[in-house]
Structure 1
Amino acid sequence: MGKQMPIHCATREQTVFSLAVVNKAVNLTDGFPYISVCGNVPPQSCIFSQVLNIGAASAAWICILRYYQLRDWGVRKWHNQVILWTGLLCALGTSIVGNFQEKNQRATHLTGAFLAFFVGIVYFWLQLFLSWRMKNLPQPGAPWIGPLRLVLCSACFILEVAMVVLHSWSMRSVSAICEWVAAMLLFILFGLLAVDFSRLDSCTLCLQPGSGSLRPPPDSPTSLHVQL
């Protein structure tokens, strides 16, 4: 699942870009467009919203799986919860970006973009910091996976800062290119979590009654087995 989500989302964002060019919603002679500009006008805005909603749901599911994996590896609860919530905020921001187009709800759209890009990269920095502090954590995959993540996180963060700075300097085309590349790097970072999930065959969701429940649990099944 980790590999499929970034590939599909990246491909569909390229589809949105192509539609925007074909429908003349953007003019490449005026400069390279931001991702959000490509998704401002229908029909590409509809595809844009759907793509980001699917991506947000997939990212949230990946973050939840990662939370339980880190818990089983012995990561402290509050450390793990901070990582989880940054990932969920990234997913929420992605959905906000897709549903609140930049030309209609600019402030809301920019808030979502901040959550998707900047909180999203914090999610991966926290995991890198955790793997550096906890030497006993399992390290699935080849030895170069860790350094690759460090390079991707560094490049993504630099591009995000450059995107903001260049935009403030009115260098919109270069800023937009930085935005597109940063988005692709975030997709790749999510995809690399497939390496960590490679040893998982399935997961089980267990439902338990709350401590204040007055009724005994029903005789229905209380666990859901999901094959990965």
Structure 2
Amino acid sequence: MGKFYLLPIAIFIWFPVTVIVTYVMAVLRKDVNPIFPYISDTGTFSPESCIFGQMLNTGAILIVILVYVRYRHIRFLCEKHSLNAKIRLRNKISTWIGVVSCIGISLVGNFQETNILIVHLIGAIIAFGFGTIWQCLQTWISFKVYPYAGKKIVNRARIISSIICVCCCIATFACGVISILEFKGKDITKWSKKDEGYYWHIASTINEWIMSISFIAFMCSFTLEFRYIDFHEPEMIIWEHITVETSESSNFNYNTAGNE
């Protein structure tokens, strides 16, 4: 068997470690208030931002790989068992949505809210919004490919996770917008109870944390299915271009192909 089952586990470990490291650094340096800051707030100021950006970029790459492996897995099942064309179509759509979500994750890590706020917000919307859609599509696909892959209990857990993500995604952005509209303070990265909109802000951040935990738990649920996926080194076709010079200065070109 291959080792692809380690990929969901790696993602499940990588992102919490990222947040814990930057959160501890940000709190110790007093760059954020310790009570439920936005996750990206913990990586807003240097040196936390350097670590946050690098680790989010790496995590985004890991998720892209997971999204692609999942796509190939479902495609294989569809071809082998002649499954419904809708499954194939939604599998392709969800793959592109998953990749776009990872681009959003990278934007969040590379564009801090104190530098280019609009890009940071767009990245957050893409990351969480498209990520939630990808999750819902994958939940639907999971039920359609059963019993060829997965387990009922895992599929039911994915439904719960998807519902949590949808609700929390809406609540995060809705409460966040209200809190910003009511905010009258000077530093948006350091909220206090005295600030107007504070409780809306806390509601937004709590939902963001719950959504993030649910999202990585959802990815970890692919561990069982990925145990039965193996990987072989891809074949490369190399074209050799050979030029042979004759005594009359004429050139003859030969093209040969070889596999490696």
Coarse TM-score class (shorter-chain normalised)? 0.7 to 0.9
How many equivalent pairs are there?
212
The offset of 1:150, in angstroms, is 0.5
CA distance in 2, matches of 1:164, 1:48: 22
User: Percent of aligned pairs with the same residue?
Assistant: 27
| Structure 1: tracts of 5 or more residues without a match | 210-214, 222-228
Aligned residue number for residue 96 of structure 2 = 85
Aligned residue number for residue 19 of structure 2 = 13
Residue 128, structure 1, aligned to residue 139, structure 2:
yes
The offset of 1:49, in angstroms, is 0.3
Amino acid aligned to 1:182: M
| Structure 2: tracts of 5 or more residues without a match | 1-6, 180-199, 239-253
TM-score, length basis structure 1: 0.85
**3-state SS, counterpart of residue 169 of structure 1:** helix
- Contact 2:237–2:257 at 8 Å: present in 1 too? no
Residue 161, structure 1, aligned to residue 165, structure 2:
no
Residue 219, structure 1, aligned to residue 244, structure 2:
no
Amino acid aligned to 1:156: C
- Contact 1:19–1:44 at 8 Å: present in 2 too? yes
CA distance in 1, matches of 2:14, 2:31: 23
Relative to structure 1, the CA distance from residue 182 to residue 72 in structure 2 (aligned partners, 3 Å threshold; closer, same or farther) is same
- Contact 1:32–1:174 at 8 Å: present in 2 too? no
The offset of 1:101, in angstroms, is 0.9
Amino acid aligned to 1:169: I
- Contact 1:73–1:137 at 8 Å: present in 2 too? no
Aligned residue number for residue 27 of structure 1 = 33
Structure whose alpha-carbon radius of gyration is higher: 2
- Contact 2:22–2:42 at 8 Å: present in 1 too? yes
Aligned mate of 2:130, from 97, 119, 142: 119
Amino acid aligned to 1:96: L
Question: What RMSD in Å do the two structures reach over aligned CA positions?
Answer: 2.1
Relative to structure 1, the CA distance from residue 136 to residue 195 in structure 2 (aligned partners, 3 Å threshold; closer, same or farther) is closer
CA distance in 1, matches of 2:145, 2:109: 38
TM alignment of 1:32-181, pairs within 5 A: 32-74=36-78, 76=85, 77-132=88-143, 134=144, 138-140=148-150, 142-170=151-179, 171-181=200-210
TM alignment of 1:181-200, pairs within 5 A: 181-200=210-229
The offset of 1:195, in angstroms, is 1.8
**3-state SS, counterpart of residue 202 of structure 1:** coil
TM-score, length basis structure 2: 0.75
Relative to structure 1, the CA distance from residue 153 to residue 42 in structure 2 (aligned partners, 3 Å threshold; closer, same or farther) is same
The offset of 1:106, in angstroms, is 1.0
- Contact 1:2–1:191 at 8 Å: present in 2 too? yes
Amino acid aligned to 1:157: V
- Contact 1:139–1:196 at 8 Å: present in 2 too? yes
